[in-house]
Structure formats: structure tokens, C-alpha cells
Amino acid sequence: MSRELIEANPDLRRLREEGYAVDVKDSFLLVHEIPYVNSKCQIKYGILVSDLSSMAGDQTVSPIGQHVAYFIGDHPCNSDGSEISAIKHSSQNQTFSKEITINHSFSNKPLGGYPNYYDKMVSYINIISSQAKAIDDFVSEKPFKIVDSENEEQIFNYVDTNSGKAKISVISSRLSGQKIAIIGLGGTGSYILDLISKTLVQEIHLFDGDLFFQHNAFRSPGAISLEELRALNKKTDHFQALYSNMRRNIFSHNYYIDNNIIDELLPMDFVFLCIDKSDIKKTIIDKLVSQDISFIDTGIGVLNIDNSLIGHIRVTTSIPDMRDHIKNRITISDDGGNNDYSNNIQIAELNALNAALAVIKWKKLYGFYQDQNKEFNSVYSINDGVLINEDNLI
């Protein structure tokens, strides 16, 4: 993606064409081999860094919003060894991603800001490198070297500027490499897909044999067109096509899981269960437990009382170190039809909340969020707004 992104944007391409060693990595723009003077009046080489938050798809926009730049190396100094005060902002190590830890931040904002990334980077480079050139005329900030990081597999079809802008790329990377299965692409499962698709998981596998009917459009994320409804596609095919606009490695398994194909779950690192069919649900849970595969089971119970809906939303988590509670939390047997949810009454916001609670818990397990109480069963009561967390792992 680095090469394509640079070639697609005149400001980034101009940097490379003029001889700067430019690279895009983890949603940051890097210019390598910038000569500078350290406090001992020695000439060193550092890396100038900028976020790429001012983008629309694969295109940089003008003017750019962020004028602050970052530096990897010692703080640049004047030729006499004194720090360059015109750009000084702060000096502390900050880890932006697995491969990017900056040492300093600079602030030098011209009137009206910077129109593009070329002007921003060259402005800082000229201030920094001019002092090195004052000591040695032969040093250059333009090594005419191609920096290529194309060997890294890309998950998204465009740069994740959200993680880069928030400086949480290193936290986001904790979710990378996982193979995730979502079983059931009804309301809750489709919202889980919406949230998971925006993470760095390696693969997302969708399992559901249902067609995408008109009622599904009212309890799923996004807005489907009339023409798409008429096509009557399988749910997994519909959502694979939709979310493949954003990311790669979404796999549609447009059939129900049964005993014949249950082993397709064995390569998964984590499974989200979003089904209420008790017969196959028990089979799936037994298989996941026997193979030490972690999973989250979601559930919604809704009743119509005096012409208002009440009920609860449940998220039950099971990992190899915490299994005993699930027999008391996950209902396997049918409830006799007293649950209006089983009669196909689903509400989008309940599905979305159920999915959000499940994904937040999944992220807690992998250190994205702090997990202070380590709850493995959460129940939200709709009519009184109470969230109960229980089955804590001590």
C-alpha cells in the first residue's frame, strides 16, 4: 500500500521524486535519513514523521489539519549545539505502532497552516538539515533511496487514519493475526461483523444459511437498496460484499453449521455465537470447549408487557480458563415460545448493543481495553437500565 499511496498523491509523490526517502507505514508518513546536528555538534541522521489524518480514501486533502511533526533521533540542534527552539514542542518517547517510536514532537505552524504534506515535511526538513549543512556542505537530505515496506500484508483497502490520528496503532495491533468466526448473521451477528471489520484481525468467517430478506434490512447495519433486496442474496454473501469494500479476508460460508462441517471451526482463534437454535448450539459449544477455542455467546430476551417491550441482553464469555459458568448462563433448551425474540421480534438498537458489549469484552481479553473486573457474564436489563457483571475470574 505504501507505493500505491505515494504514487496516487502528488504531494507524497513529489517528495519521492525529489529524492527524499519517503515511506508510509502504519498510517504514518516517514521521511528517512534527515541530517541534523546533535548537542555535541555531530552530524547524525534521523526520521521525520507525520500522521496521515487528512485523507479521503486514498487521496490526501488540502489543507491538512495537523501541523505537528515528530522525530526519531536526538533533538535537532543549531550548528553550535544549542537546540533549535523554533520547532521545539516536547521531548518524550511515544510508541505509535510496533515499528514507530518517536522521541520528539515539533510545532511550527505557518499562517494558514500547511496546504499539503510536501510543504509540511520540507518546511521541517529545511529547518533541521540547514544546520547540518552549515557544518558540512556535502550532507544531503535527499539520498534518492527507495524505502519499500511492501512485504507487509495489508488488511484494509485504505489507511487506518483513525488509529494513527489517535496514536493507538500499537494497541490496535494487539488484535492482529486472529481468525474470527461469526455464526449467525441476523441482527446481532451483523453488527458484530460491522465492529470486527474495523480491526486488524487476519480473517473473518461468516456462517449462515439464511437469505437476506426485507425484514433483515430493518435490524442490520447500513441501508440496503430495493434492487439489492430483490436479488434475495444469502446473508453471508451480502455482508461479505458490503464489508469487502473496506477490508480483505472476509469469507462467506452461506450454509448452516451441522455435524458434517463443524470441523471448519477448528482453525478459528475466536468464535461469536449469535444463534438461538438449541440443537446445533449445544453441538457447537461442546466442540469449541473440547478444542480449547474461546467464544462469546450472545442472547436477547424480549417480552411484550402491556404494549411495551421489556427484557434483557446477555453476553457470556468462555475461555479455556473459565468454562464452568456457561452451563448456568447459556440456555440450550427451547423456552416454549414465551420469548417474543424467538418469534422474530428484533430491534436494531438491542442487536447493536448486544454486539457492542460482546466486542468490547473480546477486546478486553486481548488487552485493547483494560479489564479490571474480568467478568464473564454480563446482563443488561432494558426497562431499568441496569448492567449486571458476574462470573468474575479472580
pLDDT digits (tens, 9 = 90+) for 6-51: 888 999 999 999 999 999 988 899 999 999 999 999 999 999 999 9
Domain residues of the chain, as ranges? 2-154, 176-392
Please give the radius of gyration of the chain, using alpha carbons only, rounded to the nearest integer: 26
* β-strand pairing of 179-183 with 203-207: parallel
Residue with cell 460482546: 358
Q: Does domain 176-392 have CATH number 3.40.800.20?
A: no
Joined together, the cell numbers standing for residue 232 give 434475495
Report how far apart the first and last C-alpha atoms of the chain are (Å, whole number).
44
pLDDT at residue 341, as a whole number = 41
195 burial type by CB count under 10 A (0-12 exposed, 13-18 middle, 19+ buried): middle
Is residue 258 a contact partner of residue 280, using CB atoms and an 8 Å limit?
Answer: yes
pTM for the structure as a whole: 0.79
Report how far residue 373's alpha carbon sits from residue 16's, in angstroms, rounded to the nearest whole number.
Answer: 50
Estimate to the nearest angstrom the gap between the alpha carbon of 163 and the chain centroid: 7
- For residue 146, the model assigns a pLDDT of 77
Give the separation between CA 22 and CA 305, rounded to whole angstroms: 64
CB 382 within 8 A of CB 310: yes
pLDDT in tens, 124-176: 999 999 999 999 999 999 998 877 655 556 899 888 888 887 888 889 999 99
Inter-residue contact 30 to 49 (CB < 8 Å): yes
| Spatial CA neighbour of 358 closest among 304, 288, 305, 298 | 298
Closest listed residue to residue 390, CA positions, set 365, 373, 370, 368: 373
H/E stretch holding 362 reads helix 348-365
> Would you tell me how many other CB atoms lie within 10 Å of the CB of residue 238?
26
The upper half-sphere exposure of residue 112, i.e. CA atoms within 13 Å in the direction of its Cβ, equals 5
Distance CA 199, CA 174 (A): 10
Query: Collapsing DSSP states into helix, strand and coil, what is residue 127?
Result: helix
Q: What are the CA-CA distances from residue 151 to residues 90, 154, 204 (Å)?
A: 33, 9, 22
Neighbours of 239 (CB within 10 A): 27
Structure-block grid coordinates of residue 141: 537530505
Task: Name which of 70, 47, 52, 49 is nearest 9 in CA terms.
Answer: 52
- What was the pLDDT predicted at 251? 97
Residue-wise pLDDT tens digits, 210-226: 999 999 999 999 999 99
Helices 235-243 + 187-196 axis angle, to 10: 20
Strand 59-60 versus strand 94-95 pairing type: unpaired
pLDDT for res 346:
84
Instruction: Say if residue 12 is exposed, middle or buried (CB neighbours under 10 Å; 0-12, 13-18, 19+).
Output: buried
Three cell numbers written together for 157: 483497502
Angle 292-294-299 from CA coordinates, rounded to 5°: 135
Asked if residue 80 lies in contact with residue 24, where contact means CB atoms within 8 angstroms, the answer is: no
Low pLDDT (below 70) residues in the chain: 1, 148-153, 333-345
- The dihedral sign for the CA sequence 164, 167, 168, 169: positive
Tell me which DSSP letter residue 93 carries: -
